[in-house]
Amino acid sequence: MGNNNRLLSLDVMRGITIAGMILVNNPGDWAHVYAPLAHAHWNGFTPTDMVFPFFMFMMGVSAYFSLRKYDFTWNNACVWKIVKRTVVIFFIGLALNGLSLAMFGGLEWERWRILGVLQRLALAYGVASFIAISIPHKYLLHTAISLLILHSALLLGTHSLELTPDSLVAVIDRAVLGESHLYRDVMADGTRIAFDPEGLLGIVSSVAHVLIGMWAGKMIISQRKNPGKIVINLFVYGCILLFCGLLLSYAVPINKKIWSSTFVLVTCGFGSLLLALLMYGIDIRKRTGWTRFFETFGVNPLYLYVQAELLARLVAYFGWGDVVMREVLTPLLGDYPASLAWALLFVLANWVPGHFLYKRHIYIKI
């Protein structure tokens, strides 16, 4: 662990994840995306499906470090921090949805999508954090497992493992939020339905996701004077989670859109293994020559994600991407390479102002 007990490997992993989220969200042409850079339509997963849950796992690790400063107690400072962070992140996500609506069709509340990536992160963080300051920490993993069992039971008991309007996922969102406020997804027969991949039911398993990350944070803190032991513990932890997720996938499919329990276990397993690998290479072996690019994204992750979302909307509104693709990249490289090249350039465009902040030690926190 580096200065101020800060893990450089955690910053780098956050940076890899944020850069990955920006990359897969901004291809030059959605019709020409390499398979590993596209989401699985329903069951299964691709490398792209890993980036969001990796960030959620690391949010749990970081939240454990952060709440430790308040001794995990219900004091005013701790509660205010959790509430403020939850509300601010949620409303930034809501505002981004509203901006898209305003730029591409008017700002009618009835068409405003309420949920989204940042909203899911905010709610999962908030609930998990309140759990963490309310129970003995030896029960963090027990609580996560209980939530995953509950989530799986609800899905299996209501036959809600398919993308249909009758899925409990869709039914709850329609009842609570209203159909017009939901994302539209496409069924196998091409029919578009109101089905939100960041829906309310998925908050149950997402809270478990954050708690699993918190347990990893607890392991790191408990062995902070022995980095080698931390790496071994994270590796074993990751292998167990991954094995359990793959084994149980025969009953509950690995599915990002319903944030299934097996999806949580598999992605947290891979996340723990990647963190162990990075800790070994960066924090123990001090192989840091390649990390600077990702550190830039890792120290200001939420800011740079929001910056990328704003820039993407501006580019789409003014049509700059279409011009560059049509006039430069596609004639020069061809359809698929051009689409990837645009995504890489977009990541770089967001890195430049982020690196300006990084070089000046400016960290935008909520």
Alpha-carbon distance of 79 to 257, in angstroms, equals 31
Alpha-carbon distance of 212 to 143, in angstroms, equals 9
What DSSP string describes 273-332? Answer: HHHHHHIIIIIIS---TT-HHHHHHHHSHHHHHHHHHHHHHHHHHHTHHHHHIIIIIHHH
Instruction: State whether the Cα torsion 164-187-317-335 is positive or negative.
Output: positive
Q: Element (H or E) spanning 218, and its range?
A: helix 202-222
- 244 or 227: which leads in pLDDT: 244
**pLDDT band at 11, cuts 50/70/90?**
very high
Burial of 40 (0-12, 13-18, 19+ CB in 10 A): middle
Structural tokens at position 346? 């977009």
Q: Considering only CA atoms, which of 8, 18, 23 is closest in space to residue 354? A: 18
Report the pLDDT value the prediction gives residue 3, as an integer from 0 to 100: 39
Question: In this model, does residue 4 exceed pLDDT 70?
Answer: no
Question: In this model, does residue 355 exceed pLDDT 60?
Answer: yes
Q: What is the mean pLDDT of residues 237-264?
A: 97
Report the pLDDT value the prediction gives residue 5, as an integer from 0 to 100: 52
- The structural domains of the chain, with segments of one domain joined by +, span 21-38+290-366
Burial of 46 (0-12, 13-18, 19+ CB in 10 A): middle
Structural tokens at position 288? 């840091």
pLDDT tens digits for range 272-303: 999 999 999 999 999 999 999 999 999 999 99
Angle subtended by helix axes 8-25 and 261-278, to nearest 10: 130
Q: What is the mean pLDDT of residues 321-350?
A: 95
Structural tokens at position 50? 């890993």
Structural tokens at position 299? 């120290």
Q: What is the mean pLDDT of residues 127-133?
A: 97
pLDDT tens digits for range 28-69: 999 999 999 999 999 999 999 999 999 999 999 999 999 999
Q: What is the average pLDDT value for the chain, to the nearest integer?
A: 93
- 108 or 231: which leads in pLDDT: 231
Structural tokens at position 265? 């276990």
Report the pLDDT value the prediction gives residue 102, as an integer from 0 to 100: 86
Structural tokens at position 236? 């074993």
Report the pLDDT value the prediction gives residue 7, as an integer from 0 to 100: 82
Report the pLDDT value the prediction gives residue 6, as an integer from 0 to 100: 67
Angle subtended by helix axes 202-222 and 117-132, to nearest 10: 60
pLDDT tens digits for range 201-217: 999 999 999 999 999 99
Alpha-carbon distance of 298 to 358, in angstroms, equals 10
Alpha-carbon distance of 71 to 51, in angstroms, equals 30
Question: In this model, does residue 12 exceed pLDDT 60?
Answer: yes
**pLDDT band at 1, cuts 50/70/90?**
very low
Q: What is the mean pLDDT of residues 131-136?
A: 96
**pLDDT band at 225, cuts 50/70/90?**
confident
**Whole-number percent of the chain with pLDDT over 90:** 89
Alpha-carbon distance of 311 to 304, in angstroms, equals 10
How many angstroms from the chain centroid is the CA of residue 290? 23
Task: Specify the residue for token string 């700002």.
Answer: 107
CB 296 within 8 A of CB 15: yes
Report the pLDDT value the prediction gives residue 2, as an integer from 0 to 100: 41
pLDDT tens digits for range 67-115: 999 999 999 999 999 999 999 999 999 999 999 888 877 778 888 999 9
For residue 77, the SS3 value is helix
